[in-house]
Chains A and B, each alone.
Chain A
Amino acid sequence: MAILEIKNVTKQFGGLTALNDVSFQVEEGEIRGLIGPNGAGKSTMFKNIAGFYTPTSGNIVYRGENIEGKPPHTISEMGIVRTFQETTLFQEMTVFENALVGSHIKGRTDIFSAVLGLDQKKQEAASEKVMEVLDFMGLSDRKDQYASELPLGSQRALALSIALVSEPKIMLMDEPFAGMNPEETNHMMDLTRKVQESGITLVLVEHDMKAVMGLCHHLTVLNFGVVLAQGTPEDIRNNEKVIEAYLGGA
């Protein structure tokens, strides 16, 4: 059963149509790749799903419920969490504190409990969850370092950890492999698979074809805001329209 359904989503910015009648479905538990040339509307799609944009028309259905137009914090509370392009982290905080922010939904507290220390149990549980995720992502040795001091690969792993701590059902990953060397890419692919195996559905926007083809169960190809093709990596690799879009038609 589809956990996330995109139904005829159109997004216009003034006269520019960034997404035009886009529809696709994401199955529970899969890794879905969203690919396409620059400017195809991949990131715009993500922002619509995560609530940072509201679609001009069309519906986004998550587990049978319309979510288009809801604010980002509500959507993440429902279980759809996005990660950002490049390294968007709380650079001035430690690794542990970064991940701890991710436990906001379960760990949040009111100001009186905070002052009186009534939320101690809850905060301890949150800290445990954070340590569990940092262990899982291989970051527990670095938990007291500042995020800005980490190498690129670890920064991406931390970005993933922040999202994971919030215990999402669907994770939207925006170019997690950008700028990585082959070794870092392989490590990140392993981590991504581990996340999927833990039962989280992943939607991936990515340019790194090796990673996309190696990881994704299904691909959706966007070009100029419309869906060009859908299918398994094997189908897509041999799809002439896709080849044309990427390499330029004769």
Chain B
Amino acid sequence: MNKKNILTVQNVVWAAILLAALLATPHFLKFYHQDLLIYLTINVLVVCSYRLVTLTGEWSLIHAVMMGVGAYTASLLFIHFGLDMWFTLPFAGGAAALIAALLCFPLLRMTQFYFLIGSFAAGEAIRLTWIEFVGVFGGTGGLRGVEAPILWGIDFIDPIPYYYLSLFIVSVCLFILYRIENSRVGLTLHAIHWKAPLAESVGVNAWRYRALAFIVGSFFVGLAGGLKVHYLGSVSPNQMGIGFMVFILIWVIVGGYNKFYGPIIGVIVLTVFDESIRTFEVLRPAIYGAVLILSVLFLPLGLESIPGRLRSWFGVGSTPHEPPLTDQ
């Protein structure tokens, strides 16, 4: 929709600096932190795909499990058929999308709070399947022995090549998600969020668009799950439970869900913050909790809204428009 030319000299320079920073980062980090950097990169895709689901105003609690669906699919394909990551990733996304498509029929009959609880229940059902069908999914221990691919003599088990690989894949996915949000499809999703009956009165099939957002969001998080398991090497039911889901919610809410880049800021800032208070081992949960409460209290629109607030405090430029928080 936006007709602004984004290829200005200034933007190109900024993009180049950002790219250089992203490429250089792992070289300044210790081995352990390089691992974290990879997971962070993948989590960026997790929160951005979640944002697509939330665009219609429906918050689900099944996103973490969908990531697990991708991870399990990739693992099973690798273990039983010896498929490399290049081939397992599309299936990982596809399997999550397929399950999401099937779940649309029961889940999207509900909205709001009921959808939230319904999606949680559906997710738990999937997780219990992993735990109970030990022969296929390995029970509580999950599946292990998944390996990263080797291509042109590059062994992607090393963190730096794997980081570059995930950076590339995640960037492509983010580009696609961004394009969707800024297309007519994104406009329609927003419209359904703010006033579904009005959208329907001009021909929008709200159910189909809710389903579309849910399926596409699940596809990308499934792909993220596949990407993660090929580096981590294993997947277990507890890894993809409500605990991780809560982290996704926190990242999105603290970062701010009104803008595309809000959740990205959220996941990056909180991950770095989490690492930086590692030395206060005992106090860590308390500090973390305090920061969350403070940010929700004082920054309801998320970290993303800070620059706009600073500008309006110091009277520089115009006050940015902040949409009201209420739905109706």
Contact = CB atoms under 8 A, between A and B. Distances in A.
A55 to B, nearest CB: 18
A111 B177 CA distance: 10
B176 A104 contact: no
Interface string A133-163: 0000000000000101000000000000011
Contact of A101 (B197, B202, B216, B324): B202
Q: Which of A73, A77, A146, A165 has the most CB of B within 10 A?
A: A73
Contacts of B184: 100, 107-109, 114, 119, 123, 126
Interface stretch (A5-13, A16-24, A33-41, A84-92): A84-92
B200 A76 contact: yes
B191 A115 contact: no
Contacts, number: 101
B183 interface: yes
A104 B198 contact: no
B281 to A, nearest CB: 43
A175 B179 CA distance: 39
A21 B184 CA distance: 42
B202 A102 contact: yes
B200 to A, nearest CB: 4
A6 B235 CA distance: 61
Chain B interface size, under 10 / 10 to 19 / 20 to 34 / 35 or more:
20 to 34
B204 A101 contact: yes
A101 B205 contact: no
A132 interface: no
Given A72-B197, A88-B195, A92-B323, A111 B202 contact: no
B19 interface: no
Contacts of A105: 202-203
B201 A84 contact: yes
A93 interface: yes
A4 interface: no
Contacts of B198: 84, 88-90, 101, 162
Contact of A90 (B186, B195, B324): B195
A90 B203 contact: no
A81 interface: yes
A52 interface: yes
Most buried by A among B183, B200, B203, B205: B203
B103 interface: no
Interface string B187-207: 110110011011111111110
Contacts of A93: 190-191, 194
A111 B187 contact: no
B180 interface: yes
B202 to A, nearest CB: 4
By CB atoms of chain A within 10 A, which of B185, B190, B200, B216 has the most?
A: B200
A26 to B, nearest CB: 18
Given A101-B188, A109-B183, A73 B200 contact: yes
Contacts of B203: 73, 76-77, 104-105, 108, 166
Interface string B212-231: 10001000000000000000
Contacts of B204: 73, 101, 104
Nearest to A52: B197
Contact of B180 (A104, A107, A111): A111
A197 B206 CA distance: 32
Nearest to A165: B202
Contact of A163 (B185, B201, B205, B206): B201
B202 A92 contact: no
B109 interface: no
A148 B195 CA distance: 13
A220 B184 CA distance: 40
A92 B205 CA distance: 21
A72 B179 contact: no
A80 to B, nearest CB: 9
Contacts of B194: 90-93
Contacts of B179: 114-115, 117
B202 A104 contact: yes
Contact of A115 (B183, B201, B206): B183
A215 interface: no
A88 B197 CA distance: 9
A82 interface: yes
Contacts of B180: 111, 114-115
Nearest to A78: B203
Contact of B195 (A76, A89, A111): A89
A198 B195 CA distance: 28
- Which 5 residue pairs across A and B have the least CB separation, nearest first? A114-B183, A92-B323, A105-B203, A72-B200, A166-B202
Given A72-B197, A166-B203, 20 more contacts: A52-B197, A81-B202, A88-B197, A89-B198, A90-B190, A92-B194, A104-B188, A104-B199, A109-B183, A109-B184, A111-B180, A111-B185, A114-B179, A114-B180, A115-B180, A115-B183, A117-B179, A126-B184, A148-B324, A165-B202
Interface of B: 1, 176, 179-180, 183-188, 190-191, 194-195, 197-206, 212, 216, 321, 323-324
